[in-house]
Structures are given as structure tokens and as C-alpha cells.
Amino acid sequence: GAVVSQHPSWVICKSGTSVKIECRSLDFQATTMFWYRQFPKQSLMLMATSNEGSKATYEQGVEKDKFLINHASLTLSTLTVTSAHPEDSSFYICSARDFVQGAPPQFFGPGTRLTVL
Amino acid sequence: GQQVMQIPQYQHVQEGEDFTTYCNSSTTLSNIQWYKQRPGGHPVFLIQLVKSGEVKKQKRLTFQFGEAKKNSSLHITATQTTDVGTYFCAGGDTGTASKLTFGTGTRLQVTL
């Protein structure tokens, strides 16, 4: 089946620094990728929809200037958490769609655990 | 906005007992998907239901989509310790079918 990778798998940074997370579809092209955030013992919250070659669509309440999304190619989307603060510490998960008939609707990456000190 | 609730939040069963989680959406869905997330892991796709009243089975798992396409259930027969994890339903938006709203999740614990 299709594989989605994320890098890094975990990151620890100081408050005020920026962190970039990569999401790659390894064996299919993904015109649409999604970024979620999950706090401990909570559900996944959709942050934004990333569209190749165009601006991301952010969900209500998500600051687009803080969470910068770039989807420059059909296999790569990046999420940059700018000026990170401890409250940004969370599990960030991306997913991608493979439009092959019969494929699951979304393939999820393994996630990136961000800890901001 | 759309809300998707699941009950119960948590259930602890003994191996061999059955388990059911219920999913309710505040709005009509285009489809419902179910995912399993093991502790420390990422969601793994289980199934998608599209049609009103649809029932699908995967070995010991039975999935139902309500007639009004606003609720769904997942039933596990004779649970095993490998069933441990959190089960999420996720509703596909009628406007943008790709976009998912995840349910609140049900955490299942199975002991011998």
C-alpha cells in the first residue's frame, strides 16, 4: 500500500525557534495533503489542507502566519511552526490522498512529536 | 461547525467479551471512516462506509452506517489483546468529501 513518511519523528526545541516538519508520499503523487494536530489523549484536529501549487486552506482558529504550509511538489508538503512556544508542543500528523480507485481515502504519516521547552 | 462525538470515551473489557463504540455527527455525512490508533502510533485506516444503512464486516469487526448518514457504530466480537487502542470514526464532509472531522475516540483496553 501507499506510504507516507514524516521527518523528523520527534524534535525538541527552545521557545522562540522555528521548526520544519516534512511530509512525503513515497510511492504515489498527492495533490492534497492534510495536517493534523493531536494533544495527549485527544482526537486529531485538522489544521489545514495543503494543495500542491496553491495556498493552503486553514481551519478556523489556526493561525496561518504561525503554521506555514508549503506544498511545492506532488510528493512533499512542509509545515513550519514559527516562533514555537510550549503550548505548541503536540503530535503533528500529516496525511495524503492517493486517488487510485479502491485505495483508502487517506494515508497517514507516522507523526512528529514536537516538544518546545 | 461539524462535531463528531463518540461514546464511550473508554472501555475496559476482558478478552473474549464484545465491544461496541458509537459515533454521532451533528451533520449529515458523505461517508464515514474508521481508524485505529495504537498508543504512540498513528491512525491506521480500517474501513470506509458510503451508503445509507451500509453494513460491512472484517473478520471480528462489524461496521454500520446509519440510515440518516449521521451515525455509525463499530462492533468487535470476542475481543483480543491485539484489539487494544483508540478507535476513531471520521466523517467526510458533504461539501468537500476529502476533508475529515475526527470523532472524539474510544479507547479500548483488553485484559486477560
- Partners of B107 on chain A (C-beta within 8 Å) are 41
The pLDDT, as a whole number, for residue B77 is 98
What is the spatial distance between Cα A22 and Cα A75, in angstroms, rounded to a whole number?
10
Across the interface, which of B1, B45, B88 has its CB nearest the CB of A106?
B45
Yes or no, beta carbons of A45 and B31 under 8 Å apart: no
- Partners of A31 on chain B (C-beta within 8 Å) are none
The pLDDT, as a whole number, for residue A117 is 96
Across the interface, which of B43, B48, B100 has its CB nearest the CB of A46?
B100
The pLDDT, as a whole number, for residue B92 is 86
The pLDDT, as a whole number, for residue B73 is 98
Instruction: Give B11→chain A minimum CA distance, Å.
Output: 14
The pLDDT, as a whole number, for residue A88 is 96
The pLDDT, as a whole number, for residue A98 is 72
Q: Kindly state whether B41 is in contact with chain A, defined as any CB-CB distance less than 8 angstroms.
A: yes
Q: Kindly state whether A32 is in contact with chain B, defined as any CB-CB distance less than 8 angstroms.
A: yes
Q: For residue B46, name the pLDDT band (cuts at 50, 70, 90).
A: very high
Bridge partners (DSSP) of residue A38 are: A44, A91
The pLDDT, as a whole number, for residue B1 is 75
> Contact at 8 Å (CB) between A50 and A77?
yes
What is the spatial distance between Cα B85 and Cα A18, in angstroms, rounded to a whole number?
32
The maximal CA–CA distance of chain B, rounded, in angstroms, is 45
The pLDDT, as a whole number, for residue B95 is 61
Give the three-state DSSP class for B52.
Answer: coil
Q: For residue B25, name the pLDDT band (cuts at 50, 70, 90).
A: very high
Yes or no, beta carbons of B102 and A60 under 8 Å apart: no
Give me the tens of pLDDT residue by residue for chain A, a chain 117 residues long: 678 999 999 999 999 999 999 999 998 888 889 999 999 989 999 999 988 888 899 999 999 999 999 988 889 999 999 999 999 999 999 999 876 665 667 889 999 999 999
Q: Kindly state whether B85 is in contact with chain A, defined as any CB-CB distance less than 8 angstroms.
A: no
What is the spatial distance between Cα A52 and Cα B55, in angstroms, rounded to a whole number?
35
- Partners of B99 on chain A (C-beta within 8 Å) are 34, 46, 49
pLDDT tens, residue by residue, B64-106: 999 999 999 999 999 999 999 999 999 987 665 478 899 999 9
Yes or no, beta carbons of A43 and B102 under 8 Å apart: yes
Q: Kindly state whether A31 is in contact with chain B, defined as any CB-CB distance less than 8 angstroms.
A: no
- Partners of A107 on chain B (C-beta within 8 Å) are 45
pLDDT tens, residue by residue, B1-16: 789 999 999 999 999 9
The pLDDT, as a whole number, for residue A97 is 82
Instruction: Give B58→chain A minimum CA distance, Å.
Output: 15
Report DSSP state, residue A64.
T
